[in-house]
Structure 1
Amino acid sequence: MPSVLVPAARWERWVDNFTTGHGGAALAVSGGSLRGEAEDGSHFTARLPFATAYDGPAEAGDFAAAAVAPGEWGVLLVRKGGFAVARMGGQALVEHKVGQRHVQGRTKAGGQSQQRFARRRDNQARQAYEAAADHAARILGGVRLVVTGGDHAAVDAVLEDPRLSSVTVVDPWLPVPDPRRAVLDRAVADAQAIVVDVVNA
């Protein structure tokens, strides 16, 4: 079941809606998360962004107040068609780069022609990932916490660069389309959201 991303500003309303919709719910803090158990057996587990453990009161307002962006963090989005990288200071965008690369689509031709297209596509993808790694190393230098998204294999290829060895990837994973500036802006917002796993009875 996919997680739900809830902005901290909407969290109290979200909990109110859950409680009302399920005939009441009790909140408890467990394992660094906030858990809600409804009368009808439905429940949710909410985690703070940036792998932050919560140890405050079992209250929606206190939990929302703890969803604070760190002083320095980053976003890295990579797909075959492009990349976006951002360095953040709290909620402020400090530096960013969005780039598109052309990677050959699949061909229906067979035999040697197909193999040639596959080699060209692989070379283009490798060059795209190298370009993304260059910008990521420059922009994210010294940043520890990074939220990633796009294509898993593409992100892994970029993070293999030794210049990014100090990066710690934190949830949520963001399944974004080819990165553009609007996609990056949305990813920055989603990275700061409360991550909720909901099970409805």
Structure 2
Amino acid sequence: MVTARPAAGGGRWVEISPDRLRGWLDGFYGRHDGAEEDGLTLTGASNGDTAAVHPPPGLEAVTDLDGLLAGLPAPPAIGLLLARKGAAAVAVVDGTTVRLSKVERFHVHGRTAAGGWSQQRYARRRDNQSDAVAGKTADIAARVLLPHAGELAALVCGGDRGMVDAVLADRRLAPLAAKRHPHLLEVAEPRLAVLEEAAVTARKVRIHLVP
């Protein structure tokens, strides 16, 4: 499957399933009357269009397209951490298969229409609840992911960036935070189906196309 969306600063991001990458590259060559390769970047011969290929988590060490294509069929294990204020999910993923996981839902008060002291009181309560959610999510990550930290090539996160940052600020999770992948997955409130979909999305190859 191939998906595309605009990229900040110009061009667009294309996400491609690993099994379709070779065909996509052949198509780029065909559409541009050939291309020049420079590491993981293609430049079209006909008009100078560029395609910067970003390997999926765990394969960042590859330096050229041949190395990437060789590594895609047997990707290393990764961890998943999906966090929002209302729920969290963590998993160890082999390929696109969730080996073990934990999903947890949390109760967080919504906003109130009242003003003044009442509004401030609810705001403080929500902040306290968010801190509690981050702590509980860190407990889950420590229980599920830390025992496998040594075998994980990367930690892929998704959801609310602020919540993820708060979770990984827990000192116990330093071995996981050190493996955090820079790309944040866009996910709905975590549940099992969302976690399983994220396991597939995390493995996609991202390509920045300009124009």
TM-score bracket for the superposition, by shorter chain length: 0.7 to 0.9
The one-letter code of the counterpart of 2:197 is R
- 2:50 counterpart (29, 43, 46): 43
Q: Which amino acid aligns with 1:49?
A: P
- Counterpart of 2:111, as a letter, is R
Q: 2:168 aligns with which of 139, 159, 167?
A: 159
* 1:166 aligned counterpart, secondary structure: helix
Residue 140 of structure 1 pairs with residue 145 of structure 2: yes
| Structure 1 spans left out of the alignment, 5+ residues | none
TM-score by length of 2: 0.82
**1:123 correspondence with 2:131:** no
SS at structure 2 position matched to 1:12: helix
Deviation sequence 1:137-173 (CA, Å, 0-9, x none) = 1111141520011111000000011111011101432
1 CA distance for matches of 2:13 and 2:158? 14
**Residue 149 (structure 1) aligned with residue 149 (structure 2):** no
Task: Give me the identity figure in percent.
Answer: 37
- CA distance in 2 between counterparts of 1:24 and 1:166 reads 46
SS in structure 1 at match of 2:175: coil
- Structure 2 distance, partners of 1:197, 1:152, is 22
**Deviations along 1:79-137, whole A, 9 cap, x unmatched?**
11211100124443221011111212222210011011101111221121111111101
- 1:8-23 paired onto structure 2 within 5 Å: 8-20=18-30, 22-23=31-32
| Aligned counterpart, 1:194 | 205
Q: How is 1:21-170 mapped onto 2 (pairs within 5 angstroms)?
A: 22-30=31-39, 34-38=40-44, 39-50=46-57, 51-56=59-64, 58-59=65-66, 63-67=68-72, 68-70=74-76, 72-141=77-146, 142-143=148-149, 144=152, 145-167=154-176, 168-170=179-181
Paired residue secondary structure (1:24): coil
Pairwise CA RMSD of aligned residues? 2.0
Structure 2 unaligned residues grouped into runs of 5+ = 1-6
**Comparing 114-123 with 87-96, which one deviates more in the overlay?**
87-96
Measure how far apart 1:198 and its partner are.
Answer: 1.0
Which of structure 1's runs of 4+ aligned residues deviate more than 4 A? none
